[in-house]
Structure 1
Amino acid sequence: MAKWLVVGISDQKIAFSPDKLVSYALGSCVGVCIYDRKLRVAGLAHILLPNSKESLHCPVNPCKYADTAIEKLVAGMEAAGCRRQRLTAKISGGANMFDIPGPSIGEKNVEAVKLKLLSLKIDIVAADVGGNHGRTLIFDSVSGKLEIKSLFHGNKII
């Protein structure tokens, strides 16, 4: 029987088939879903902010920031037997939740996630980002499918 593992804000988890990862109510946060199809291993990071170098807090929670969370998630997946060249990513979230001038925190998060995945040579195979609505993510370790639920924008699978 599959377990549902909840990934909170500034957290990450790795799931093995047949388990699922779920992250609730992403607004400007970005959910980074990384998958190894051969081993059916799924990882999900719920990223709050783009860059740990801008933090005034010590010690830094590495799961909070795009630059450190993705590295930690990939390292954990590799420790579980995944191979970097088999990893693919799906991303969702990064909404503009507040009407403020300039780039929103959601846009900055999405850009930081894309840059980090590019630097690690992990392809983004699907994305559902931006807008002004929250999302709940359900990542299936069996299929690699990412279900995205939104109260006013319906559900989709990528």
Structure 2
Amino acid sequence: MGTTVTARASERVVGVADLKVSNVAGERLITYALGSCLGIVVHDPVANVAGMLHVMLPTGTIDPAKMADKPAMFVDSGVPLLFKECYKLGAKKERMQVKVAGGAHAGAREEDDRFQIGKRNMIALRKLLWKNGVMVHAHDTGGVQTSRTMWVEVTSGEVTLKINGAESKL
């Protein structure tokens, strides 16, 4: 007789060159249009803290002013900032799980991608994490230029990808 409405989690959109962190139960962090960009999720399952970063480029060292103005644009400045913001909410590095999506190459074949931004983004991320004793727990990266949507449920840390209309867990 009555209509049942399922409550949807509160969503916060992480734009390009942006990051968000949360410890709000039931909240979801989401980012869209991950091509060569990387969507990076960190989650501390004990503190129930999650963070998401949408980076465009591997390094900002060639443009220090841009790096200072938009640190979330670059792997080398955005990732440390993401971790620091999560620490402010009680997360601990040794408990953090890292999941990554994006890093596609432009064009139909990898060899057609002259600048290889997606590949360079992933190399920069792995190098930075390795230097800091952190590993990537799961990833869906590379491949042909495709648009990935990525979201994380803050409380559970469950990461979902939507690619060409199909959803899968990461």
Establish whether TM, by shorter chain, passes 0.5: yes
Equivalent residues of 1:52, 1:60 under 8 A apart: no
Q: Tell me what 1:44 maps to.
A: 52
Tell me how far apart the structure 1 counterparts of residues 69 and 17 of structure 2 sit (CA, whole Å): 11
Listed one character per residue, the Cα deviations across residues 16-70 of structure 1 (whole Å, up to 9, x for unaligned) are: 2221100011110001100000011110000100001122644441110000000
Tell me how far apart the structure 2 counterparts of residues 76 and 37 of structure 1 sit (CA, whole Å): 16
| Root mean square deviation of aligned Cα | 1.7
| Structure 2 unpaired stretches of 5+ | 1-6
Tell me how far apart the structure 2 counterparts of residues 12 and 56 of structure 1 sit (CA, whole Å): 19
After TM superposition, the runs of 4+ consecutive aligned structure 1 residues lying more than 4 A away are 56-59
Deviation of residue 82 (structure 1)? 1.0
Larger radius of gyration: 2
| Structure 1 unpaired stretches of 5+ | none
User: How many residue pairs get matched?
Assistant: 157
Matches within 5 A, 1:97-112: 97-98=106-107, 100-102=112-114, 104-112=116-124
Equivalent residues of 1:5, 1:15 under 8 A apart: no
Q: Indicate whether 1:77 and 2:82 are aligned.
A: no
Distance 1:87 1:97, change over 3 A: same
Aligned counterpart in structure 2 of residue 32 of structure 1, from 37, 40, 44: 40
Tell me how far apart the structure 2 counterparts of residues 75 and 104 of structure 1 sit (CA, whole Å): 29
Equivalent residues of 1:22, 1:136 under 8 A apart: yes
Deviation of residue 126 (structure 1)? 0.4
Tell me how far apart the structure 2 counterparts of residues 121 and 35 of structure 1 sit (CA, whole Å): 16
Tell me how far apart the structure 2 counterparts of residues 98 and 57 of structure 1 sit (CA, whole Å): 31
**Other structure's SS at 2:129 match:** helix
- State TM-score, norm by structure 1: 0.92
Aligned counterpart in structure 2 of residue 141 of structure 1, from 139, 149, 154: 154
Distance 1:101 1:25, change over 3 A: closer
Aligned counterpart in structure 2 of residue 131 of structure 1, from 129, 143, 146: 143
- State TM-score, norm by structure 2: 0.85
